[in-house]
Chain A
Amino acid sequence: MSEFALEIENLVKVYAARGKAPVRAVDGMSFRAPQGIIFGLLGPNGAGKSTILRVLTTLTRPTEGSARILGYDVVKKPVEVRKRISSVIQETAVELFLSVRDNLLTYARFQGLDKATATRRANALIEEFQLGAEMDRKVQDLSGGFRRRVQVAKVFMVQTPVLFLDEFSTGMDPILKRQVMNLLRAEVEKGRTIILTTQVLSEAEELCDDILIINKGKQIAHGDLNALKLLSQGVYEITLAYDRLPETIQAEIAALTPIRATVEANTVDLTLKIEESRVMDIVSALSRNRHILRVEVRGASLEDIFLELTTRQGKEQA
């Protein structure tokens, strides 16, 4: 068995619909992820994240290149791949006509679990995902959030070595999301590899051991959070809370050409790519002759890095 959970080489996926221009959703990507980590695939809408996941989960065939899960080629050995994975796809995927419990048990049956183990795990997950009151209700009678809960709970029924999560937290409340994130961490400690896509960057920042940022089907950056921060040196987040927002603040912000700027109530949040020596100059310029309630200067977050890298790629292509 390969030491890598996934290996992708020169992967290309072109969607060609009749009468429409072909779309190059993945454009010659190569990367690998070792076993026993949480690997994050980040990118804006249409970046190609879900397409990569669809290739890796054998849902779609690559146009060119290859992809392997634990050494098994997704095209040549799809069933071997499927035996080693479980996945939460982006769309809600549940058996609407079955009860919550039967959803879990039916899933277990597909994964080859014996009845006693399946029942034991289903009971534990029903409790863990707070589905006790709904366990005998048909899923079609549940809200979207509960349906997503059932869908995510299913993948914890089994111990497949690789787990794919495509924007798993969509529709989850913060408490449940926190619980699921803890569960994911526990699964990785047991040796499972998790490959997730997300647009919630704080989620990726907290969970992922290794991150690949992609845009328009191409790789922009790859590494752990520290390596990515190095790629984006000179990015700072500045927060200033005024007692009263200055009238000229919008013009002052625009003159700084920030990567990102938000003005809410009396607070200004700026993300700037500047030399370290200029940070305090900018803070004092924005504070001069004003009553400041709070000042914060931070290094780049994953969100800043992401924005900086994707914006940079956009400018380079233009």
Chain B
Amino acid sequence: MSALSAVVYREAKIRATNFTFIFWDLFFPLLYMLVFGVGINTALGAPTGLGNVNYNEFFLAGILAMASFAIASNTSWSFFLDRDNGIFYEMLTYPMSRSEYLLGKVIFNVCIAVLQAALTLVVGRLLLGIRVDWQKLPLLFAGMAIGTAGWFFFYAIFALRIKRNDIFNSVTSVFYFVFMFASSMFYPLEPLPAWFRRTALLNPITWEIDWLRFTSIGLGNFHVILLEGAAFMAFALACFVYAVRCLQRQE
């Protein structure tokens, strides 16, 4: 427990030295929603086939998933920074297991992600009139936490296996494009071609978005969401196990 709290303390200390970063972490989804969401909503209105759900409401879950994806990616990039500073290898000799190190790193960022989600929901409700299903809020926060952790473990695998940060940056750019656009983040999947829909349904970020959409505005089929939630949990767990293995093989 003390090892976990030490890693969380370290992450918080480092983050606290950069207020721009904190500001961006907390307000990035909100700004995205206010600029991009409002623009699309005004120009194109409600997405087809979703009844009385407007674009701002539809996009809310997409933004939250995008935020957890971005936090995970940024946090995994810190492995490179730590490697360059030499502290990465020194930390691996500290009295903790590799899994404690990974979990500690993610706990702080999970807290940021949940705080960010809460802020986005409140401001979304107040400024854009988004109809939030407050009763399902704990499930939404759980989705944000597991989503952020899952993506962090996924990215950690690549950050630990790839030694050059320029290659890692290229890989993350591809991931951003593929995962975000081949998903239900920006548009509903129903009107899309069958091949696109099938691809999107295999994409773990779609599972996360569908969960967040159901728990934020109640859109979606409960049984499908449950299945997607379980699939994402399995994805996160597999990534965690493999990331710990990668960490054990650091030389």
User: Do A96 and B85 touch across chains, with their CB atoms under 8 A apart?
Assistant: yes
User: Do B94 and A82 touch across chains, with their CB atoms under 8 A apart?
Assistant: yes
A219 to B52 Cα, complex, angstroms? 78
Task: Choose among B10, B87, B96, B251 the residue with the greatest number of A CB atoms under 10 Å from its CB.
Answer: B87
Q: Which of B2, B9, B13, B89 contacts A59 (CB 8 A)?
A: B89
User: Do A79 and B96 touch across chains, with their CB atoms under 8 A apart?
Assistant: yes
User: Do A93 and B86 touch across chains, with their CB atoms under 8 A apart?
Assistant: yes
Least CB distance, B147 to chain A, in whole angstroms:
27
User: Do B17 and A54 touch across chains, with their CB atoms under 8 A apart?
Assistant: no
User: Do B96 and A82 touch across chains, with their CB atoms under 8 A apart?
Assistant: yes
Q: Which of A54, A93, A112 contacts B251 (CB 8 A)?
A: A54
Determine whether A85 belongs to the interface, using a CB cutoff of 8 Å to chain B.
yes
User: Do B89 and A89 touch across chains, with their CB atoms under 8 A apart?
Assistant: yes
User: Do B86 and A109 touch across chains, with their CB atoms under 8 A apart?
Assistant: no
User: Do B96 and A95 touch across chains, with their CB atoms under 8 A apart?
Assistant: no
Given contacts A92-B86, A109-B10, contact A58 B17 (CB under 8 A): no
User: Do A111 and B94 touch across chains, with their CB atoms under 8 A apart?
Assistant: yes
Least CB distance, A23 to chain B, in whole angstroms:
12
Determine whether B18 belongs to the interface, using a CB cutoff of 8 Å to chain A.
yes
Least CB distance, A142 to chain B, in whole angstroms:
13
B6: chain A residues within 8 A (beta carbon): 106, 109-110, 112
Least CB distance, B190 to chain A, in whole angstroms:
46
Chain A: interface residue count, which band?
20 to 34
Interface residues of A in 240-279 (CB under 8 A from B): none
User: Do A110 and B251 touch across chains, with their CB atoms under 8 A apart?
Assistant: no
User: Do B86 and A106 touch across chains, with their CB atoms under 8 A apart?
Assistant: no
Given contacts A87-B93, A109-B6, A111-B94, contact A97 B87 (CB under 8 A): no
Least CB distance, A165 to chain B, in whole angstroms:
12
Please name the residue on chain B nearest to A91 by beta carbon: B86
A95 to B12 Cα, complex, angstroms? 13
Least CB distance, A295 to chain B, in whole angstroms:
47
Interface residues of B in 1-36 (CB under 8 A from A): 2-3, 5-7, 9-10, 13-14, 17-18
User: Do B251 and A58 touch across chains, with their CB atoms under 8 A apart?
Assistant: no
Determine whether A35 belongs to the interface, using a CB cutoff of 8 Å to chain B.
no
A29 to B7 Cα, complex, angstroms? 36
Least CB distance, B14 to chain A, in whole angstroms:
5
Least CB distance, A107 to chain B, in whole angstroms:
8
A89: chain B residues within 8 A (beta carbon): 86, 89-90, 93
Determine whether A2 belongs to the interface, using a CB cutoff of 8 Å to chain B.
no
Interface residues of B in 75-98 (CB under 8 A from A): 85-87, 89-97
A158 to B181 Cα, complex, angstroms? 50
B92: chain A residues within 8 A (beta carbon): 58-59
Q: Which of B5, B89, B250 contacts A93 (CB 8 A)?
A: B89
User: Could you give, for residues 270-308 of chain A, a 1 whenever the CB lies within 8 Å of some chain B CB and a 0 otherwise?
Assistant: 000000000000000000000000000000000000000
B86: chain A residues within 8 A (beta carbon): 89, 91-94
User: Do B95 and A83 touch across chains, with their CB atoms under 8 A apart?
Assistant: yes
User: Do B96 and A110 touch across chains, with their CB atoms under 8 A apart?
Assistant: yes
A87 to B248 Cα, complex, angstroms? 18
User: Do A95 and B95 touch across chains, with their CB atoms under 8 A apart?
Assistant: no
Least CB distance, A147 to chain B, in whole angstroms:
9
Determine whether A102 belongs to the interface, using a CB cutoff of 8 Å to chain B.
yes
A85 to B94 Cα, complex, angstroms? 8
A189 to B95 Cα, complex, angstroms? 24
Given contacts A79-B96, A93-B87, contact A110 B13 (CB under 8 A): no
A59: chain B residues within 8 A (beta carbon): 89, 92-93, 250-251
Q: List 21 A-B contacts (CB under 8 A).
A: A57-B93, A59-B89, A59-B251, A82-B95, A87-B93, A89-B93, A91-B89, A93-B85, A93-B86, A93-B87, A94-B87, A95-B14, A97-B17, A97-B18, A98-B13, A106-B9, A109-B9, A109-B10, A110-B95, A111-B94, A112-B6
